[in-house]
């Protein structure tokens, strides 16, 4: 999937479903500290990613993911 498309989908669900403040969304934003995504939100993001991108996030593959750009990189790798 194209990077632009991935970023658009991620932004949409973060704003509409996880209800992240749209103004805080930026590639370098830290998922936890800047976007306020907590461990329970992440349980919901697993469900949304499976629905929107068709794969299941594995916790062990997410260890290096800290920023929104990292997260989109991860999705890009998985959807290639």
Partner 1 sequence: MKRVVITGMGIYSCIGKSLAEARDSLHAGRSGIGIDPARAAHGYRSPLTGIVEPPRLKGILDRRLRVGLAEEGEYAYVATVEAFREAGIDAGYLEENETGILYGNDSSAKAVIEANNVVMEKKDTTLLGSAAIFQSMNSTVTMNLSTIFKLRGINMTISAACASGSHAIGLGYMFIRHGLQNLVLCGGAQETNLYSMGSFDALSTFSTRVDAPTRASRPFDAGRDGLVPSGGAASLVLEEYEHARRRGARVLAEVVGYGFSSNGKQISQPSDEGCEIAMTRALADAGVSAREIDYVNAHATSTPQGDMFEAIALDRVFGESRPLVSSTKSMTGHECWMAGASEVLYSVLMMRDSFVAPNINFEQPDEYSCKLNIATKTVEKKINLLLSNSFGFGGTNSALVIRKIQ
- Binding footprint of partner 1 on the chain (CB under 8 A): 18-19, 38, 40-41, 43-44, 46-47, 50, 56
Please indicate whether residue 73 is annotated as part of the active site: no
Q: Are 33 and 66 in contact (CB under 8 A)?
A: no
Give Cα 45 to chain centroid, integer Å: 7
Cβ distance to partner 1 smaller for residue 36 or 69: 36
| Candidates 34, 38, 52, 70; catalytic one | 38
The CB-of-72 to partner 1 minimum distance in angstroms stands at 21
The 10 Å Cβ neighbour count of residue 62 is: 15
């Amino acid at each position: 999937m194209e990077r632009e498309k991935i970023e658009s989908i991620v932004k949409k669900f973060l704003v509409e479903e996880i209800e992240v403040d749209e103004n805080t969304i930026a590639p370098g934003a830290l998922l936890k500290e800047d976007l306020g995504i907590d461990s329970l939100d992440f349980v919901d993001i697993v469900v949304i990613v499976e629905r929107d991108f068709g794969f299941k996030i594995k916790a062990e593959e997410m260890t290096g993911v800290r920023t929104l750009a990292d997260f989109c990189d991860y999705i890009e790798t998985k959807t290639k």
